[in-house]
C-alpha cells in the first residue's frame, strides 16, 4: 500500500517489530482523517503479518502528534459528526490484537495524547510533553482523554490537565505511571524496538491472551477481571506453546514456540 502521511518499516534483528512513523511534520503530525485511515490500514497489515510480534508507533523529535486536525474539524456541525461517525477511524488503534508501543518524543497533545494512551505501553523521550488542551479551543477530549487519562493518573491530575490544558513533562508522566520509561530522545526509538523484540521472542498466541487479560483489568470490575484471568490462564494449558515453554524450562533450553 502507498502511504502519504505515515511511513512503515520493519525493525529488530529478526525484522519482527513493525514500526509506523507518523509523517506529517509540517502540521506537527496533526491527526487528520487521511492520517488516521492510513494508520488503521497499516495496523491491520501488521496484525495480519505473522512475522510481526509487536508494533511501535512514533513521530519525530518535535512532535508525536499535536492533536486531531483543528483546521479540518473546525467547521463540523453536530449532525455531521454523528452522520459521519467522526473519530470512528480511531477505534482500530485500541483494538489491535498485537502489542502496541507508543514511542513519544516532543508533543503528545489532545488526540496525540489519546493516541499514545490507546497503545499498550508508552515510552517517552526526555523532552516529551503530554497534554489535553482541547478546553482552550472550546471543546473537550473525544478519544479517551477524560476517561483513560483519569484511570491512569487519577482524578485530581486528570481534572487539572483537562480543565487547564496545561502540559505535563515526561518525568511527571512517568511518575504517575502513564509512561513506563524515559530515554534520551535519540535513543527512544531504538529502546522501543528492543522492547518490541523482547515481546516478540515470546509465543504470539500467549502474548495475545495476556494482552487481552490486562485490558480486561481496565474495562471491568476486579471480580469479573479475576474470573476472566483465571479462565484464560486455564486456557493456556490447551496450547502447545504452554507444553513447549514448560518443557524447555525443565530441559534448560530455549523454547521454540509455534502459536499452536
- DSSP secondary-structure letter at 31? B
Please, what is the minimum distance in Å from the beta carbon of residue 155 to ligand HXC? 20
The answer to whether the beta carbons of residues 145 and 86 sit under 8 Å apart is no
> Which one from 68, 102, 103, 116 is the annotated catalytic residue?
68
Candidate residues 69, 89, 191, 241; the one interacting with ligand HXC per rule CB under 6 A: 69
Question: Rounded distance, CA 145 to CA 159, Å?
Answer: 10
Please, what is the minimum distance in Å from the beta carbon of residue 137 to ligand HXC? 5
> Can you tell me whether residue 257 is helix, strand or coil?
coil
Known catalytic membership, residue 68: yes
Question: Rounded distance, CA 220 to CA 6, Å?
Answer: 34
CA distances from 241 to 36, 97, 110, 167, 207 (A): 35, 18, 40, 44, 11
Beta bridge partners of 109: 131
Candidate residues 5, 39, 43, 109; the one interacting with ligand HXC per rule CB under 6 A: 109
Taking CB under 6 A as the rule, does residue 133 contact ligand HXC?
Answer: yes
Please, what is the minimum distance in Å from the beta carbon of residue 223 to ligand HXC? 32
Known catalytic membership, residue 114: yes
Cell numbers for 187: 535513543
8-16, 38-46, 103-111, 241-249 -> range binding ligand HXC (CB under 6 A): 103-111
Strand arrangement, sheet containing 107-109: 63-65, 107-109, 129-131, 168-169
Cell numbers for 6: 505515515
Give the side-chain half-sphere CA count within 13 A for 184.
Answer: 2
> Which one from 12, 18, 59, 111 is the annotated catalytic residue?
111
CA distances from 229 to 100, 119, 151, 217, 237 (A): 21, 21, 20, 9, 13
In the complex with ligand HXC, the residue whose CB is nearer, 8 or 33, is: 33
13-21, 25-33, 232-240, 246-254 -> range binding ligand HXC (CB under 6 A): 25-33
- DSSP secondary-structure letter at 179? S
Taking CB under 6 A as the rule, does residue 110 contact ligand HXC?
Answer: yes
Please, what is the minimum distance in Å from the beta carbon of residue 32 to ligand HXC? 8
In the complex with ligand HXC, the residue whose CB is nearer, 66 or 168, is: 66
What values do phi and psi take at 189, rounded to 5?
-65, -45
Candidate residues 46, 107, 123, 183; the one interacting with ligand HXC per rule CB under 6 A: 107
> Which one from 38, 67, 134, 191 is the annotated catalytic residue?
134
Taking CB under 6 A as the rule, does residue 118 contact ligand HXC?
Answer: no
In the complex with ligand HXC, the residue whose CB is nearer, 93 or 195, is: 93
Active site residues: 68, 111, 114, 134
Q: Which residues contribute to the site for ligand HXC (CB under 6 A)?
A: 27-28, 30, 66-71, 87, 107, 109-111, 114, 133-134, 137, 141-143
Amino acid at each position: 500500500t502507498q502511504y502519504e502521511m505515515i511511513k512503515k518499516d520493519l525493525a529488530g534483528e529478526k525484522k519482527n517489530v513493525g514500526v509506523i512513523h507518523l509523517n506529517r511534520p509540517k502540521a506537527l503530525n496533526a491527526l487528520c482523517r487521511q492520517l488516521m485511515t492510513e494508520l488503521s490500514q497499516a495496523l491491520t497489515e501488521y496484525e495480519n503479518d505473522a512475522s510481526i510480534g509487536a508494533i511501535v508507533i512514533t513521530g519525530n523529535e518535535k512532535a508525536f502528534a499535536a492533536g486531531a486536525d483543528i483546521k479540518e474539524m473546525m467547521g463540523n456541525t453536530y449532525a455531521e459528526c454523528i452522520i459521519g461517525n467522526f473519530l470512528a477511524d480511531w477505534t482500530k488503534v485500541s483494538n489491535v490484537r498485537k502489542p502496541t508501543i507508543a514511542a513519544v518524543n516532543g508533543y503528545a497533545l489532545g488526540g496525540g495524547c489519546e493516541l499514545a494512551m490507546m497503545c499498550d505501553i508508552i515510552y517517552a523521550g526526555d523532552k516529551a510533553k503530554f497534554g489535553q488542551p482541547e478546553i482552550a479551543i472550546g471543546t473537550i477530549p473525544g478519544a479517551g482523554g477524560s476517561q483513560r487519562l483519569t484511570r491512569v493518573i487519577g482524578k485530581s491530575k486528570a481534572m487539572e490537565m483537562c480543565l487547564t490544558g496545561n502540559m505535563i513533562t515526561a518525568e511527571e508522566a512517568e511518575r504517575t505511571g502513564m509512561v513506563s520509561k524515559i530515554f534520551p530522545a535519540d535513543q527512544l526509538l531504538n529502546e522501543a524496538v528492543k522492547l518490541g523484540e523482547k515481546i516478540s521472542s515470546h509465543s504470539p498466541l500467549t502474548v495475545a491472551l495476556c494482552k487481552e487479560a490486562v485490558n480486561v483489568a481496565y474495562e471491568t470490575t476486579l471480580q469479573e477481571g479475576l474470573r476472566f484471568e483465571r479462565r484464560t490462564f486455564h486456557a493456556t494449558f490447551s496450547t502447545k506453546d504452554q507444553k513447549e515453554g514448560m518443557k524447555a524450562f525443565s530441559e534448560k533450553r530455549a523454547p521454540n514456540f509455534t502459536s499452536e
